[in-house]
Chains A and B, each alone.
Chain A
Amino acid sequence: MLQPYVPLVLMFALAAAFAVFSVAVAPFVGPRRDNRAKLDAYECGIEPSPQPVVGSGRMPVAYYLTAMLFILFDIEMVFLYPFAVSADALGLFGLVEIALFIITVGFAYAYVWRRGGLDWN
């Protein structure tokens, strides 16, 4: 019964072996060129620590809002694709449903827009 999953298990084993191999071998064969950026928590974005002194430790949240908006519309797209593929089969009911879906996401968009979520300054 579990026969079809054997390739999956092999895939996991392969992935684990690759990870272990990379971590174990790299210190011995890789070159060592240290620099400051390698000590950062992340190699892009804003330094999370230490906190900026100005503005009582606050950071600009524009990134955060943009990320949230991206997720919102990204997920909308995720649902639009399967709909588009099978729009004919789903018929009028599907069209109405997807329109309702877009409208409700539009409510959230209207809220963000009116409340200045899209203003960068």
Chain B
Amino acid sequence: MSALSVTVSHTVSQAVSGGVADAVSGAPWAVLAQGSVPAPEVDYGAIGAMLVVFAGACLGVLVEAFFPRHVRWSSQVVLSLLTIGAAGVTFGWYVGRSTDPVTTLSGTIAIDRPTLFLWGTLLALALGAVLLIADRSVEPGGSFVGHTAVARGGVREGVGDGAAPGGMRTEIFPLTLFALGGMMVFCAANDLLTMFVALEVLSLPLYLMCGLARRRRLLSQEAAVKYFLLGAFASAFFLYGLALLYGYASSVKLSAIAEATAGNDRSDTLLYVGLGLLVVGLLFKGSVGPFHTWTPDVYQGAPTPVTAFMAACTKVAAFGGIVRVLNVAFKASSWEWRGVLWAVAIVSMVVGAVLGLTQTDIKRMIAYSSVAHAGFLLVGSIALTEQGRSGTLFYLLAYGFTTLAAFGVISLVRAGDGEATHLSQWAGLAKRSPLTALVFTFLLLALAGIPLTSGFVGKFVVFTAAVEDGMAPLVVVAVLASAVAAFFYLRVVVLMYFSEPASDGPTVTVPGVFTTVAITLGVLVTLLLGVYPAVALDWAGPGLAFAP
């Protein structure tokens, strides 16, 4: 797949540079056929981490093809963890050597400080997500379906033939790695076509992964279909926007679009319509504002480890892309679009906070919380200053770990037919399992943004940046929205501590090593970033420039 995306971008960039000019005169490949095309320079050190992830994913496919069924799970777990570990080592080696911004692969990939920060975040989050996915102790046999799809009306929902203990579909591991690789390219993409290919590489595996839940098969398949249809729609928006922006700037490179917007001799209509469509595609992936409608259904229906992966990593990738596009390509035209994104951010925060209040399912509640958080992140993203960038990146890191651990805890609280996600089942949980309640309370406080958690620091840096960039009214709305959102987080805390437990309440599974490590990782990072945020803020801090 790495070769695929690389080849695609090469072929396309050649078509763009060499072909299009000639296509008008009727000889598409004339230039290519005449002279020799210089091979693009590839900085293998810089993109090493990305290549390792894609190579691991390809090996995962081969493991699926050639290994007998009974060793697949163990091989895939070892392979996935090794891949992420090796990518981490490659990444660390490169960062230790240099963090100067470079562009490689004919300028389609930019490896700069924001990219490196996002890559580190993605790799760490993916490690936690793979651990959650690999766990087989919480749900016997793993959270994923063992067999093929369930026909409509064939099997009762909630039971499903996959609910019988047995093996799980281990394709989930290579799919996770492919999605992770796509996210890494997405953050680093320096032109819109590479970004689109990366968007598809990260989305297609996610659509599949959503439909693989062992329990509640129909809900899971419904989530997958909804996500796929709406996602395809959003991709089409992105692509249409891309085409119009190419018409506007005669290039898909972010830097060329930036140059074009700096002048004023072109059609603004193409720019505005193109930018609008492009941003709709991006905001959809980030589950922002009025483009969030898929979020609750998909978060609820997808297997909880996949939800954790989606909520944490997709958010990081999507906002990584949004920050880069807005900062690099559309900085000069910010005066025109900023008002619109103000409105989108307000809608997102208000919708997330208000609809979150009415939810009775804990996964849906966290989904609406993620919509509200997407609004806060957008506030940081449209502050086109260094503080805005570093604040947004820090917020992504903090939110990713908190939400990963939160979904890890949600997967532990179970009733007879799977996870007990209805809020009433969580009543009095503290009496039954004080530790789980304590951990979940801490995570909810972090999501609400209470001091001494990473959530507080994240909101603080983002809102400070927004105020300094002259967006005080927006910050007032954001603070009000966080206050409303805090109510529904605290309602769960009150429910867990001050309600009588239901007689037939859920049991809290003692997690195996994998889930324990993942939750501990999330909680520790949430605490560390809350108490001593300088570690990450320094990293996301001064000199956070994008590659030219």
Contacts and interface: CB of A to CB of B under 8 A. Distances in A.
A108 interface: yes
Given A86-B33, A107-B62, A101 B151 contact: no
Interface stretch (B6-14, B238-246, B337-345): B6-14
A49 to B, nearest CB: 13
Interface in A66-108: 79, 82-83, 85-86, 88-94, 97-98, 100-101, 103-105, 107-108
Nearest to B155: A56
Nearest to A99: B3
A114 B63 CA distance: 11
B36 interface: yes
A91 B4 CA distance: 18
Given A56-B154, A98-B7, A115-B65, A86 B37 contact: yes
Given A4-B24, A89-B35, A89-B36, A97 B10 contact: yes
Nearest to A111: B65
Contact of A101 (B4, B32, B62, B154): B4
A111 B7 contact: no
Contacts of B1: 104
Interface string B237-266: 000000000000000000000000000000
B335 interface: no
Interface residues of A, number: 30
- Please classify the interface of chain A as helix (H, G, I), strand (E, B), loop, or mixed, using the class held by over half of its residues: helix
Contacts of B37: 86, 89-91, 94
Contact of A56 (B8, B24, B64, B151): B151
A108 B61 contact: yes
A24 to B, nearest CB: 31
Given A56-B154, A57-B152, A110 B62 contact: yes
Interface in B36-56: 36-37, 39-40
Contact of A58 (B2, B10, B29, B151): B151
A38 to B, nearest CB: 29
A101 B15 CA distance: 18
Interface of B: 1-4, 6-8, 10-11, 15, 24, 29, 32-37, 39-40, 58, 61-62, 64-66, 151-154
30 contacts: A4-B24, A56-B153, A57-B152, A57-B154, A79-B8, A79-B11, A82-B11, A82-B15, A82-B29, A85-B33, A86-B37, A89-B37, A90-B37, A93-B40, A94-B37, A97-B6, A97-B7, A98-B7, A100-B2, A101-B4, A101-B7, A104-B4, A104-B58, A107-B65, A110-B62, A111-B62, A111-B64, A114-B65, A114-B66, A115-B65
